[in-house]
Amino acid sequence: MKVIRGRVWKFGDNIDTDLIAPGKYLGLPYEKLLEHILEPANPEFPSKVKEGDIIIAGKNFGCGSSREQAPRGLKDLGVGAIVAESFARIFFRNCIGIGLPAVTCSGVAGNFQDGDEAELDLRTGILKNLTTGKSFQTSKLPDMMLEILETGGILEMLKKGTF
Amino acid sequence: MGMTMAEKILARHSGKEEVRAGEFVTADVDRVMVHEMLAFMIEIYERHNIPKKVWDPDRVVMLMDHYVPAPTVDAAEMHRKMREFARETGLKINLDGKEGICHQIMPELGYVKPGDLILGTDSHTTTYGAFGAASTGIGATEMIAVFATGKLWFRVPETIKFEIEGSLQERVGSKDVILDIAGTFGSDVAQYRSVEFHGSAVEEMSISSRMVLSNMSVEIGAKFGIIPPDKKTIEFVESVTDEPFTPVYPDDDAIYEAIHELSADELEPKVALPHSVDNVKSVGEVSGIKIDQGFIGSCTNGRLEDLEIAAEILEGNEVHRDVRLIISPASRRVYRSALEKGLIDIFLDAKAIVCNPTCGPCWGGHLGLLGKGERCISSSNRNFKGRMGHEESEIYLASPATVAASCIRGEITDPRYV
Ligand code: SF4
């Protein structure tokens, strides 16, 4: 499993799916929705986020509706991983299902600033803040979930007949 | 050792005698519900070149409720593609947009039974827990996997038990109970967990009132929000389906992660302030806050008993001149009953706006959106920032009684004193 490295986008607690994929844009074609992902929480996000960037957030990230446009939008804009103090259940499942790494790490929000560089090794669960030089141990995902992530998500597994 | 409701239902559906919290199982599902999320699934099927396939066309309920009737050409296109999908895959149950909101019509039309394991592409799928089912929401990709195989993996959840004893006062409802729980315990107290609701206050509640508890269980993070079935449940389910079912009950020695006892007797009407469901105050602490709009409807509180209490309060009154009140019955059946009972006349006399059954206003999809700085008091279940319209609008969540009373006065008002 590859190591993910990128700029940190930092968010607080209770970032809900209406902030990630605002309801008023859900009726638009998906490509248009992508231009508004996380916009209410940080207007720069959709235009500036780059491949491999890492979201660091507080508690209950992704709470709210089951709309998969939220995690998919993040993934399709390039987000490489999300590390949060905790996730809402459906959002977490959606992440794993689509092959977007999501791990928890207690106290993570207090140790990163917006714009820091971070690196996450999913196999060991080690998260590094390259800007401050500090390291953190994130939760280890069960093998079943690592397998889904490694294959690239449930759709890839379905195609291979391994789900 | 005993098992909880969640453990028993997951054990039964994964072919095991016994499962324990923390275990991973692969379980067969009894029924699935898809609404407009199917349109997004279709995009995924096509973009990723996955064959459109349904493991059992009898077990999928397809419906439209989020954009009904279609307010834009994009929404109409979603619906058109959904109908085409239903034809192509031979789905047996296509309710189109004719019956009402998903979580109201699934039980109403007999697609929910005690002991079932049900999945839906909607977070409030937890609602069916009110019928003793284990039911929860999943996303589009996982639903594609369920469509293909009829199965999904689950982590068997720990269970938190809420024991609610006593009797609610007049004009205090189950909405106030669940808002109180959210306010006291927080929006993530039940994260990844199942909750069970027990106690004499729950037993006293109507089926409709119980659905509010299960519906909003997801607002405290829960995966399931289950109420053990009783005579009322069984009678209701037998009145809507001929399919056989085997109810499940928790064992006396089941292991709970936590047990919380609450009293219903002294509970006051509650209001969740912007912008989170756990930002809860008693109505007395916030009365006097001016409002621009009221909404009575949604899968939380758009049922007949909700319209009845609203009508009782609105009868002989008019909605305040600076306020508009939007009422949307949760289903075609609810609408008809309200009509037959004369409730719609009362609403029209009070100058409320009565719409068709739809999710529209609840999630800001269409109908009754809010402008900049406007405040809405709503009987729905979420008050996230911008959910009902402009980023700078505000949503206050309350019971239908509190919404009705507030709409008469033009400010947040305790329904017990109107
Ligand atoms: S009424 Fe609201 S909460 Fe319920 S399913 Fe519709 S949009 Fe979701």
Q: Which two tokens stand for residue B372?
A: 């900049």
pLDDT for position A27: 84
Is A1's pLDDT higher than 70?
A: no
Please answer yes or no on whether A68 and B37 come within 8 Å at the CB atom: yes
Assigned CATH topology for domain B5-262: Aconitase; domain 3 (3.30.499)
> In which element (H, E) is residue B287 found?
none
pLDDT tens across B166-192, in order? 999 999 999 999 999 999 999 989 999
Is B395's pLDDT higher than 70?
A: yes
pLDDT tens across B109-144, in order? 999 999 999 999 999 999 999 999 999 999 999 999
Please answer yes or no on whether A89 and B192 come within 8 Å at the CB atom: yes
What mean pLDDT is predicted for residues B349-364?
A: 97
Q: Work out the percent of chain B whose per-residue pLDDT is above 70.
A: 100
Interface predicted TM-score of the whole assembly (ipTM), two decimals? 0.88
Assigned CATH topology for domain A4-160: Aconitase; domain 4 (3.20.19)
Of A22, A28, A88, which has the smallest distance from its Cβ to B74's Cβ? A28
pLDDT tens across B220-277, in order? 999 999 999 999 999 999 999 999 999 999 999 999 999 999 999 999 999 999 999 9
Is B357's pLDDT higher than 80?
A: yes
Q: Tell me, what amino acid is at B82?
A: M
Handedness of CA B14, B128, B136, A73 (dihedral sign): positive
Question: CB contact, 8 Å: A155 with chain B?
Answer: yes
Q: Which two tokens stand for residue B219?
A: 């607002």
Query: Of the residues B61, B65, B126, which should be mutated to test ligand 1's pocket, given the most ligand atoms within 8 Å of the CB?
Result: B65
Residue located nearest, by CA, to atom 6 of ligand 1: B359
CATH 3.30.499.10: which residues of chain B?
Answer: 5-262, 270-417
Assigned CATH topology for domain B270-417: Aconitase; domain 3 (3.30.499)
pLDDT tens across A71-94, in order? 999 999 999 999 999 999 999 999
Question: Would you say B13 and B27 are in contact if contact means Cβ atoms under 8 Å apart?
Answer: yes
> Cα–Cα distance between B5 and B224 in angstroms, integer?
10
pLDDT for position A29: 87
Q: CA angle at residue B190 from B185 to B196, to 5 degrees?
A: 100
pLDDT for position A2: 76
Query: Of the residues B362, B379, B387, B397, which should be mutated to test ligand 1's pocket, given the most ligand atoms within 8 Å of the CB?
Result: B362
pLDDT for position B389: 94
For chain A, which residues make up each domain, given as ranges? 4-160
Cβ-Cβ contacts under 8 Å between A and B: the total is 120
Q: Work out the percent of chain B whose per-residue pLDDT is above 90.
A: 99
Please answer yes or no on whether B153 and A71 come within 8 Å at the CB atom: no
Please answer yes or no on whether A40 and B386 come within 8 Å at the CB atom: yes
